[in-house]
Structure 1
């Protein structure tokens, strides 16, 4: 069975006017529910299938969804701020709030028939996952935040955790709005976010993107709406679920200090730094990370 065939059919959840695309990895296997929250601009196909397979082998029923303004989910109308850096600096949240985004996850959980799930968020998805744990604590069994900033930090305060040079390069990724352009943009972004201490396998990355090109990687207008969503809820120090904070030691976008701060502010949180890893999840971390997630889940059994 190919990786693509391992995923069940695309399904839909609804949160008000927003429709959210999601699917499940080999749903016939069963296991403990685990929901994956994707990053800025990225669709649900961005997370490696091999990692999802490792999670399934460790006893998890894995589902993933496209955040609003990403992948196949609803894209909102344009707003005045159409650049993610400007949206970050001006704290403009014209399209929707971070609370709305957190509620999207519970709509997916409802459609899956899951009363609760382990929650794995990557990059922006990590911040979103923290907010879901705060806003809907009863729906979250454990929290895994990967390569994220603290979920209660917005606007200018976010800058202390971001490598602005990389963010500027990310914002300059411009390719034609075509299938080929989406693939080329995806390769460029993947290379930009990878560890400088490991060889970048462009052929493998390109082959994966050819199967599922993602135009959201260079859709700056959609990204500006996502990053501009403002959180006005509790501080992350109020998170009570078992928490694993994960970060690539070579992350070129988010400083590792972000992970240390998150772990220090959530009671009992564990910190896992991944060697030779950038702002991504390369193959050499799949097994140890999935094992750490299994261990975390067992603490709440």
Structure 2
């Protein structure tokens, strides 16, 4: 058992299905809790092992499709495992991390704005935004750009296959950790505060339009933050950004009872909202540029190297 636990990979053959599943359970129980066990099989006697592992991969072969149907992932050849792990698996983890962070950011920033608004009015239970704005913020106004992150990739597939060390970076869990969560919470607090206090300072005489001012700056901030996080642009990402902003413009025209169009069309409103948005986003763009120049991540180095090569 000690040899099995210390082994980086284990091949189990000429064993019963129960014995294969037992080996998988031993690895899950006695190895480091951060390690995930992946079981690969191609026959019906591998079903128990596949289902016992954290991740099961079934190979469609001469022995039938029992393993394939019971697995989390199905492949036709064992050689496809390399691309499944190093390309699709890595991209899936990176995209899931980005999507989770933006969902956190989208919820925290509007909560911070509501908290600041309530504190100014002695914590009276007054909602900053009405119901349709909150629903629109979580759906049509920000949904398309945020979910377009599932198309993002930091390096092309050929580079990911050429440098398998990139996959090893995932084991450190740096893309989605307590550190990144805390960082995005701080970003949300800063941006929410910048939008609210910027609106109070620049629009002191037009406080009656606080909803239109802050909500417009909030939508622009979200769209710019998604653009900041994208590493490889896709056509649908551009469409998502444009479509979300267009939906917001159309809602202003449709819900004229809730928006003062004359005020929104004024130059005074436009330049001040642009200033508030720049204050909330520009420092992050500068920090990202400085990081790319002085301490670029490994995928940026590989992309630059492949371009020069």
Tell me the TM-score normalised to structure 1 length.
0.25
Which protein is richer in strand relative to its size?
Answer: 1
Comparing both chains, which one has the higher relative contact order based on Cα–Cα distances under 8 Å and sequence gaps of 6 or more? 1
Structure showing greater radius of gyration is 2
Tell me the TM-score normalised to structure 2 length.
0.25
Which protein is richer in helix relative to its size?
Answer: 2
